[in-house]
Chains A and B, each alone.
Chain A
């Protein structure tokens, strides 16, 4: 039961990978339900919750898309056995729909990269380490958990911003 209506089929992946991808898609859909409904002016509004890192919802979404792609990069590097080097992803989206489309593109990338897990045992995969730029070790399962919760946290953040309203 994959999210095959929207994305590439991954039903042949290991059950735990399918579960992760299903829940990742569900988290993105929940974010989409929030961000897809906001008005254009809300996308760029500042609130009492704004700060230098996240002045508006546009900045949050650009961060979310960038992180979504970086998590794919990390897993791709782990599966390839290559060093993790930061790839440059420049993201700028004028509308919520453009940001969401790019987030789904990052999710599609994740599906394609995880195709390389097929045929490897769980033990083999557990041995593959990801060392992030923030100097923390993850295995692929932990990286996917982090990716899912990252979406959840920023959906919550945007919900709080919308509740806080605009200061004009």
Chain B
């Protein structure tokens, strides 16, 4: 089990995809654990690390959840050889608990998109290439690596915010 999701969902995927999804789920679970440890008052509090992009932990969470969907959208478009553009994933989680829970349906959508290519190994994942709206070429393996590290980086960001404390 990873959080609210059973890894049996991807037990019949390729070894490459199982490894990536296990580590993606691990990263999501670690972020969820951090969110679960935060006092409710910290969720919308500003800190000395706040900026226009991320005034509080809520905005970080909304961003992270939206990006999980965004990365799955890129992979889906690449598989369909189309570009549907940016889908609206306007998340606004009212509470820490809602944010922690909302991570898992987002992750599950990635699992669902990858079910279309469940037999792909590393070489096949690297052969599906596309360009993001930030003009960077990616293949599917790179996109999934980016997705995992995106979670790691924002978990680290939140941990740092908790260390410096809130200013209100």
A22 at the B interface (CB under 8 A): yes
A15 to B149, CA, bound (A): 15
The proximity string for B residues 148-159 relative to A, scoring 1 for CB distances below 8 Å and 0 otherwise, is 110011001100
Inter-chain contact A153/B23, CB cutoff 8 Å: yes
B136 at the A interface (CB under 8 A): yes
Closest to B136 in A: A139
A-B contact number at CB 8 A: 55
Inter-chain contact B19/A156, CB cutoff 8 Å: yes
A44 at the B interface (CB under 8 A): no
Inter-chain contact B160/A1, CB cutoff 8 Å: yes
Q: Which residues of chain B have a CB within 8 Å of any CB of chain A?
A: 19-20, 22-23, 26, 126, 136-139, 142, 145-146, 148-149, 152-153, 156-157, 160, 163
Q: How far is the CB of B119 from chain A (nearest CB, A)?
A: 18
Q: How far is the CB of A33 from chain B (nearest CB, A)?
A: 14
Q: How far is the CB of B102 from chain A (nearest CB, A)?
A: 23
Inter-chain contact B142/A156, CB cutoff 8 Å: no
A144 to B148, CA, bound (A): 12
Inter-chain contact A134/B23, CB cutoff 8 Å: no
Q: How far is the CB of B53 from chain A (nearest CB, A)?
A: 12
Q: How far is the CB of A67 from chain B (nearest CB, A)?
A: 13
Closest 3 A/B residue pairs (Cβ): A145-B149, A149-B145, A152-B23
Closest to B137 in A: A137
11 contacts between A and B (CB under 8 A): A19-B153, A20-B149, A20-B153, A138-B142, A142-B142, A142-B145, A146-B142, A148-B148, A153-B19, A156-B19, A156-B22
Q: How far is the CB of A30 from chain B (nearest CB, A)?
A: 10
A144 to B138, CA, bound (A): 14
A126 to B139, CA, bound (A): 17
- Given A139-B136, A157-B19, check contact A23 B142 (CB 8 Å): no
Report A113-168 residues with CB < 8 Å from chain B CB.
126, 134, 136-139, 142, 144-146, 148-149, 152-153, 156-157
Q: How far is the CB of B83 from chain A (nearest CB, A)?
A: 20
Which among A1, A26, A145, A157 has the highest number of chain B CB atoms within 10 Å?
A145
Inter-chain contact A23/B153, CB cutoff 8 Å: yes
Inter-chain contact B19/A126, CB cutoff 8 Å: no
Report A70-86 residues with CB < 8 Å from chain B CB.
none
Inter-chain contact B142/A134, CB cutoff 8 Å: no
A145 to B150, CA, bound (A): 9
Chain B residues within 8 Å of A139, by CB: 136
- Given A139-B136, A157-B19, check contact A152 B148 (CB 8 Å): yes
A47 to B157, CA, bound (A): 39
Inter-chain contact A149/B139, CB cutoff 8 Å: no
Q: How far is the CB of A137 from chain B (nearest CB, A)?
A: 6
Q: How far is the CB of B91 from chain A (nearest CB, A)?
A: 22
